[in-house]
Amino acid sequence: MWGPPGGEKRRILSGMRPTARLHLGNLEGALRLWTELQHEQECFFLIADWHALTTGYQHTDRHRALVREMALDWLAAGLDPKASVIFVQSDVPAHAELALLLSMITPVPWLERSVTYKEWLSEPEVARAAGLGLLGYPVLQAADILLYRATEVPVGKDQSQHIEMTRDIAGRFNHLFGEVFPEPEARHSEHPILPGTDGRKMSATQGNAIYLGDPAGVIERKVSSMFTDPAKVYKGDKGHPERCPVFALHGCYTRARLAEIRDGCSSGALGCVECKTELAGAVVAGLAPFRRRREALAADPGALEDILEDGARKARGVSEETLARVRDAMGLWPRAT
């Protein structure tokens, strides 16, 4: 078994599908952790644009724009191209080749058991259009991770099965052809999974997200419409902050006042209107530095392209080395150089 070459650092791989604008849940649940990890470990972050096609191949008119928007959001959130390798998946063809090779050894029942696959099939529109790419997305995901011999993959607790599948595929490959891949571990974020405006997990597909690019007035409107503890109707009613999505967002944006807000809600001294107004102001203020950085980055599209091209060049170097080992282990015809 071999992992990242030399050094003490472990290697991290993570990514996102560019299917929608990013929201507070993406920022607090993933990007905050990534920006910390990039200074501690060797990090690869991919914009998973091929994965975006598994459920959205009919609607590619905004594909390039969404890739660009995601890159801008990542950089504005603090990902540093000098500290991390940031690239677009389709810019590194080795992902497709390794996915093809891994698809040969991955039993179909493993894929059919995927919780995410079943969830997607429960949506009639997705189920009607489902192709082989949707069933096989865990194989492409395994290729994304294994190409970089990643040792850790930051994921939400609800995504652990994805990493289990990658470990199973790596283990099966190693059993069949000899030790080539390290089996990566899931790294769970200590950062919170944020609720959306309706109290369910914040998600672009649920229509409950507060987006990083929302203007101040939109943020204020969305926060004012958020679900709250149903037991607290009037100011003076005693609330249960732990049941309230507004309080969960206060945990990220008004940390210094969290104890006071909890006590005010529980005692009835704090009303929901006041509580939400304070939260909306804190979210708008908290996003201000992000917005300033994003506007500066957007004003220089050439610099963004250079960052992604440089990231792809570095990613191609590592991934081609892995693929050469894979082809050799499988006894495939040597590729002319």
The residues that touch ligand SF4, with contacts defined as CB under 6 A, are 228-229, 232, 239, 241, 244, 246-247, 265, 270, 272, 275-276
State which residue, 28 or 229, has the beta carbon closest to ligand SF4.
229
State which residue, 125 or 274, has the beta carbon closest to ligand SF4.
274
Minimal distance in Å, beta carbon 290 to ligand SF4? 24
Token pair 């050894």 is found at 105
Alpha helices in the chain (DSSP H): 24-26, 32-37, 49-56, 63-77, 94-103, 108-112, 115-121, 124-129, 132-135, 137-146, 160-177, 216-224, 245-253, 258-267, 272-298, 301-330
Two tokens at 111? Answer: 């894929």
Provide DSSP, 287-334.
HHHHHHHHHHHHT-HHHHHHHHHHHHHHHHHHHHHHHHHHHHHHTPPP
Minimal distance in Å, beta carbon 265 to ligand SF4? 3
Minimal distance in Å, beta carbon 246 to ligand SF4? 4
| Beta-carbon contacts of residue 150 (< 8 Å; ≥ 6 apart) | 11, 12, 13, 44, 182, 184
293 exposure class (CB count in 10 Å sphere: 0-12, 13-18, 19+): middle
CB 36 within 8 A of CB 177: no
State which residue, 138 or 196, has the beta carbon closest to ligand SF4.
196
Two tokens at 14? Answer: 């993570």
Minimal distance in Å, beta carbon 240 to ligand SF4? 7
State which residue, 177 or 227, has the beta carbon closest to ligand SF4.
227
Rg (CA), the chain: 22
State which residue, 68 or 250, has the beta carbon closest to ligand SF4.
250
Minimal distance in Å, beta carbon 10 to ligand SF4? 39
Minimal distance in Å, beta carbon 231 to ligand SF4? 8
Minimal distance in Å, beta carbon 267 to ligand SF4? 10
State which residue, 53 or 244, has the beta carbon closest to ligand SF4.
244
State which residue, 144 or 229, has the beta carbon closest to ligand SF4.
229
Minimal distance in Å, beta carbon 247 to ligand SF4? 4
**Residue 188 β-bridge partners:** 155
Minimal distance in Å, beta carbon 203 to ligand SF4? 21
State which residue, 68 or 232, has the beta carbon closest to ligand SF4.
232
For residues 64 and 71, what is the distance between their CA atoms, to the nearest angstrom? 11
**SS3 assignment, position 113:** coil
Two tokens at 307? Answer: 């960052």
| Beta-carbon contacts of residue 317 (< 8 Å; ≥ 6 apart) | none
- Contacts for 108-112 with beta carbons within 8 Å, 24 or more apart? 108/135, 110/138, 110/165, 110/168, 111/135, 111/136, 111/138, 111/139
State which residue, 280 or 308, has the beta carbon closest to ligand SF4.
280
84's enclosing H/E stretch is: strand 84-88
